[in-house]
Amino acid sequence: MTVHDPDLAQQRTTQVFPQDTLATFAANYPEMPHTLAHRLQLDERLTLDALASLAAHLPDASIEYNRGDLPVGVDGKPGSNGLTIEETIRNIATSDSWAVLKNIEQVPAYRALLLDLLEELRPAIEATTGPMLTPQAFVFISSPDAVTPYHYDPEHNILLQLTGTKTMTQFPAGNPRFAPDTCHENYHRGGARELPWSDDLLTGGTPFTIHPGEAVYVPVMAPHFVRNGPASSISLSITWRSGWSYAEAEARCFNAALRRIGLSPRAPGRWPAANRAKSTGWRIIRRLTRA
């Protein structure tokens, strides 16, 4: 897909994250959620028409869209809204839905956008967690008051708000009260990212409300849910992995193997724990299984 973007060269010379925001990010990365400022404008690549066209060209695995009138907790994947992805996006103000376009970096114009943004963050990231791995980008398009249910994600993540408002309520990463160890293990072995919810968890959450020009950082595997504001919304999520995040995932897989033989393994450590022994153990198991 070719996306016409006459302003791309100019955007590459404009710093999106102000210097004080970069300092805030460096002080809090990788474990503390926090809000950030950004100057990313709703350029041609991120309008509803452009995103609907993008969705039509992405593979099915890169598209997810559902009803927006959902509870915070769902059992399995949310239900369909009965529309096509293009209908959902073009009519997002009235379709009562939320949609996510995954791995938009598959398209060159969007990959350029992602890499330009991450380049500004690279010094702070690599000074702390080492090389920035597997850059990815996701666009979320949400109807008024739509809910993205309680879940977690394996990447370091910054969600930039472009239109509308939304409130993300985050919960402490690595705390089994909010995401039991068995949920982590199942997810890293191919299970769903949606988490079990009960209303008594809410007291442990921290809400972050973001408007256009604001963003929120989400630590690796920090449980969260999102409630859209009274207007439709477009948000851009830029993500990356680190050697630590991959080792934590591999350690979870190793723990799942131990649990299957009747053991009760200790959870992997959060940053800066390296989790090298369990990570190496899982790599050995995986090689032996393949052999």
User: Under a CB-based contact definition with an 8 Å cutoff, are residues 178 and 198 in contact?
Assistant: no
For the chain, give the mean pLDDT: 92
User: Which of 84-98, 147-161, 255-269 has the weakest average pLDDT?
Assistant: 84-98
For residues 188 and 230, give the distance between their C-alpha atoms in angstroms, rounded to a whole number: 35
More confident residue, 162 or 289: 162
Share of the chain above pLDDT 70, in %: 93
Give mean pLDDT, residues 144-148: 93
**Using one digit for the tens of pLDDT, what is the confidence trace for 82-138?**
788 999 999 999 999 989 999 999 999 999 999 999 999 999 999 999 999 999 999
pLDDT number for residue 10: 42
pLDDT > 90? residue 68: no
Residues paired with residue 167 on neighbouring β-strands, in sequence order: 209, 227
Burial of residue 258, with CB atoms counted within 10 A of its CB: 0-12 exposed, 13-18 middle, 19 or more buried: middle
**Amino acid 291: pLDDT:** 78
* Residues 186, 192: Cα–Cα separation, whole Å: 8
Where do runs of H (alpha helix) occur along 94-242? 108-129, 181-188
Tell me the C-alpha distance between 180 and 177, whole Å: 6
Give yes or no for residue 146 having a pLDDT over 60. Answer: yes
Q: pLDDT tens digits for 69-81?
A: 877 876 655 556 6
